[in-house]
Chain A
């Protein structure tokens, strides 16, 4: 299997709220840092990607946001325009009238059109070799399968015509595991783990795209080492015990909140571990799982991007 950053096109997806954009932003950052000319594309243009690089809003026209790192956001209409003029060589387009309306119409009428111009744009960037790596902050798990399966679905729906001729090479790019891979992001909680497992099944069943890695985000640290939890329990057990009073006198007040917080962490970590184990047990052992720490200090912004990029780097063995 190809090394993650040696692929050309990586889709980052996962259940809503698990930190997909953080991971996509950091992965692209790491690749650029390691010398690859990288494009990162936010597909559901919510505008979150820009905040991870602390730059102005990203647009369809890519922009260099750091050395070797380019960012863009998907705009299906702009992508279709580019597609029609560059690939289908349709000079007519400008004279057809309100392209936007036609596009809206066709896209609503024929599910798959929006998906195909989205995936098509990324595949085209791969084919033209504009970048060493393209990272897509893809749609959430509910939608990403239909995006990745769009070229195949289109092939079946559209029997003739230019679109049909165009889907072949996209399928080649998407289906080549050395070129393209999907990274699924999960958090150690019930729904994200279940959704990850459903998604990895659906990807295998309905698309020809390779699962490159599973990233587990927001993993809490293990608070106590061997034997330490017992010491903690003895300290926390009796609020009137001399030992506890000794500590509190020295610190000038109750340490109940500190002990409560430690208990909360221990039990949260414990329930999350169960979900992690279920995930690890169900994912093919050949698929790497990368563990990202819970970020206490910053959940957003460039600082968070740096920290996650460092964690990715360590997990990937760089």
Chain B
């Protein structure tokens, strides 16, 4: 395991993007990195989260929905025993509102803007379409970064079904709006003249989807085309930012089969596509003492010999119990150790399997409770920050 922590990495970057499969502690990790940075360094740090646990959101002062950027109240640090040198800010991502903002920014006139916002397809895309989260998260990152208001921005990525969706989202969005098929489909609605060569296409499309629906699609895209230039330019700029030297990716995983496979895939994609892979954070790792071989031997012996051990000398009496009860306690303690030692060995094996790790690898223990306040975030942060 590499000895350096995240401190050096984070100090040299302006954007940190936490990614990994669902349920591995991405949000908490992102918030912990931001909190640590605000505690240790002067400067303004922002954490952008997608869907924080309610109590964690409360701790960061994020209530309800909305895209507002809010400073975490100094009072929230009161219970942690540390005085932050910098400022910690937090924001939640509201997909729908971010899309609406985007339309407002790029629409050529108020009438077009209104027609787009009220188009049923637009409402569907902006509100429900999962992939639209990916794009808008990156778009919002760009927006905040170019405002120049923050020294460091830490982003928690949306749970994507395909791990690379969000880094490709800007490019795909640009491609989509410049696609040939799009032009082909909306052509007849534009010119009211159907090209003969494309007839079978419309016949099928019409039979399957119905002409009203096709018209809705066409209207949406004709309207959207008015924003085309601004939109594509923007998507390109967003992608450039993701590849910028000031941006780094932190892959988060637990040591379980599926998340490890996804982390490996992620590391591979980031590397081959030449994004900056900064660190790997392994969360909820079982404690090292479970791998102690001497302890394993003693646990095995205790499993077998619990009846005899419990009846030796005045052991039971000195613990104010009966031998039978003591035997059960000892047997449980021994079996429990062996159970978790087994899981710990499986974790250690999976860690070895992570073939191509980045230089910085941080291990975070399984904490006993959920992390839902700044003190908890800082406790986690200490573990990943340095040695």
Contacts and interface: CB of A to CB of B under 8 A. Distances in A.
Interface of A: 15-18, 21, 44, 46, 48, 51, 84, 88, 90, 92-93, 95-97, 101-102, 105-106, 108-112, 139-140, 142-143, 146, 153, 157-164, 189-192, 194, 223-225, 227-228, 231-232, 234-235, 241-243, 246-247, 250-262, 264-265, 267-268, 271, 296-297, 299-300
A17 B21 contact: yes
A157 B120 contact: yes
A216 B14 CA distance: 41
A258 to B, nearest CB: 5
Interface stretch (B79-87, B144-152, B337-345): B337-345
A225 B321 CA distance: 14
A103 to B, nearest CB: 10
16 contacts: A15-B22, A93-B204, A105-B179, A106-B209, A108-B176, A110-B121, A140-B159, A161-B210, A161-B211, A163-B210, A191-B23, A243-B319, A251-B298, A258-B333, A268-B368, A271-B368
A231 B316 CA distance: 9
Given A161-B206, A299-B256, A300-B257, A143 B325 contact: no
Contact of B340 (A143, A157, A261): A261
B372 A255 contact: no
A48 B299 CA distance: 34
Contacts of A300: 257
Contacts of B182: 105, 109
B207 A158 contact: no
Given A163-B208, A265-B340, A153 B124 contact: yes
Given A105-B179, A257-B290, A261-B336, 13 more contacts: A44-B161, A109-B217, A140-B159, A140-B161, A146-B128, A190-B53, A192-B23, A224-B332, A250-B312, A252-B301, A255-B295, A255-B333, A261-B341
Contact of B294 (A164, A228, A253, A297): A253
B8 interface: no
B159 A16 contact: yes
A256 to B, nearest CB: 8
B258 interface: yes
A261 B220 CA distance: 60
B23 A261 contact: no
Nearest to B50: A142
Contact of A110 (B204, B217, B372): B217
B309 A247 contact: yes
B210 A160 contact: yes
Contacts of A242: 318
B333 A262 contact: yes
Contacts of B369: 267, 271
**What are the 4 closest A-B residue pairs judged by CB atoms, nearest first?**
A16-B22, A17-B23, A161-B210, A257-B295
Contacts, number: 223
Nearest to B52: A191
Interface in B299-342: 299, 301-302, 305, 309, 312-313, 315, 318-321, 325-326, 328-330, 332-334, 336-337, 339-342
B301 A224 contact: no
Contact of A158 (B161, B210, B336): B210
B201 A102 contact: yes
Interface in B179-223: 179, 181-182, 185, 200-201, 203-213, 216-217, 220-221
A304 to B, nearest CB: 10
A96 B200 contact: yes
Contact of A17 (B258, B330, B339): B258
Q: Which of B204, B205, B301 has the most CB of A within 10 A?
A: B204
Contacts of B313: 246
B213 A225 contact: no
B259 interface: yes
B208 A84 contact: yes
Given A84-B208, A190-B53, A223-B336, A142 B181 contact: no
Contact of A161 (B209, B290, B337): B209
B346 A190 contact: no
Contacts of A189: 370
B366 interface: yes
A17 B201 contact: no
A102 B121 CA distance: 18
A153 B55 CA distance: 33
B125 A101 contact: no
Given A16-B22, A235-B319, A257-B337, A161 B207 contact: yes
Nearest to A263: B368
A194 B203 CA distance: 47
Given A17-B22, A235-B319, A299-B346, A258 B298 contact: yes
A260 B291 CA distance: 13
B202 to A, nearest CB: 10
Contacts of B330: 247
Nearest to A161: B210
Given A161-B207, A299-B257, A232 B333 contact: yes
B130 interface: yes
B54 interface: yes
A226 to B, nearest CB: 10
A95 B333 contact: no
Contacts of B305: 250-251
A160 B120 CA distance: 16
Contact of A142 (B159, B325, B336): B159
Interface string B29-45: 00000000000000000
